[in-house]
Amino acid sequence: MSDMMKAVQINDFGDRSVLALNNVAIPTPNENDVLIKVRAASVNPVDWKIREGYLQPLLSHSLPLTLGWDVSGEVAGVGKNVTQFSVGDAVYSRPEITKNGSYAEYMTVSADEVALKPKTLSWQEAAGVPLAALTAWQSLYELAQLEAGERVLIHAGSGAVGQFAIQLAKLRGATVYTTTSSRNTDLVLGLGADHVIDYRQEDFSTLKDLDVVFDTMGGETQDNSWKTLKKGGRLVSIAKNPDEATAAEHGVSAVFCFVQPNSEQLAKLADLADAGQFKVNIDSEFTLNQVADAHERSETGRAQGKIIINVSA
């Protein structure tokens, strides 16, 4: 194969105009990496927040930077220490976010961040799982330690993370309340939500004695969520670092979740997908030369599922 590939990169931080489709060298895997021939990637809000430079104080990326931190594809090469994967394996990953991403024909990923792709999902569906589903898993299962019989409020249940959160909460045996707009009511009910709150017509803050709140919105949504929790309840946010003093005032615990790569959890998610226990909704699909359009779609906040970048057939 050629030693060059196409990749969507940024050379400066800024709006969608900084996105450039470049010819760059195919990366070489180090001794603990796999080289993945990318079939599909997906767009997450973190992508354009990094593009704009909002997260630079936290992540300190070097430029040029290839964006995209969801991937499905085939193993095209392995480092000398990698024994769990072979060339040709179908895999997926949420790779380390400080490194170059998946808007590229090839990428290297640490082998301990990779899992075998769910057999029953397409490349596009598989690419839509890792970041959003791991976010929901780590928030609800690890940090909130959600248990069967508990009542959980999931904000923005029709968003990509919210959709996985509803399904994972139901698999755990929880009663699920979720906020969304009326046009998405059937969508979230179809995913298993028990109670749907149209945030334009109803006030979710009248709920009482919830065990868990999963905050995907921050701002006033988080501010109005505290009083819905019972004493000893738990709030997990992926949008705004919760204030410890406010949590203490309400007699609850609160933590922030910044999703981490986890191949073991990806393997468990693959098993669930192959058992027909969760589904992936795709909002829209784009190509590598349409990444700006894909970002525009994500920035509206109105995607009903995952935004996919088709990289290779």
Per residue in 110-160, pLDDT (tens digit) is 999 999 999 999 999 999 999 999 999 999 999 999 999 999 999 999 999
| Of 47, 45, 93, the residue nearest 68 (C-alpha) | 47
Backbone angles phi, psi at 236, to 5 degrees: -120, 130
Angle between helix 160-172 and 130-137 (nearest 10): 40
Angle at the Cα of 171 (from 168 to 176), degrees rounded to 5? Answer: 70
Residue of 9 and 301 predicted with greater confidence:
9
Helix intervals (H) in 77-230? 123-127, 130-137, 160-172, 185-191, 219-223
What are the pLDDT digits (tens) for 155-180? 999 999 999 999 999 999 999 999 99
Q: In this structure, are residues 263 and 137 in contact, taking their beta carbons and an 8 Å threshold?
A: no
The encoded tokens of residue 26 equal 């195919």
| Of 163, 151, 87, the residue nearest 125 (C-alpha) | 163
Query: Residue 205's Cα: distance from chain center in Å?
Result: 26
Reply yes or no on whether the pLDDT at 1 is more than 80.
no
Output DSSP code: residue 274: H
Partners of 106 in beta bridges: 37
Q: Which CATH architecture has domain 4-129+280-310?
A: Alpha-Beta Complex (3.90)
Name the average pLDDT for the chain: 97
Q: 132-256 sits in which CATH class?
A: alpha beta
CA–CA separation, 14 vs 33, rounded Å? 31
Q: In this structure, are residues 11 and 61 in contact, taking their beta carbons and an 8 Å threshold?
A: no
Residue 313: its pLDDT value, please? 74
CA atoms within 13 A on the CB side of 211: 15
Q: In this structure, are residues 228 and 221 in contact, taking their beta carbons and an 8 Å threshold?
A: no
What are the pLDDT digits (tens) for 14-51? 999 999 999 999 999 999 999 999 999 999 999 999 99
- Evaluate if pTM is beyond 0.85: yes
Residue with token string 């040709």: 88
| Of 64, 147, 133, 142, the residue nearest 101 (C-alpha) | 64
CA–CA separation, 140 vs 154, rounded Å? 10
In the chain, ranges of CATH 3.90.180.10 domains: 4-129+280-310
Phi-psi region of 173 (alpha: psi -120 to 50; beta: other; left: phi over 0): left
Reply yes or no on whether the pLDDT at 247 is more than 70.
yes
Q: How confident is the model at residue 2 (pLDDT cuts 50, 70, 90)?
A: confident
In the chain, ranges of CATH 3.40.50.720 domains: 132-256
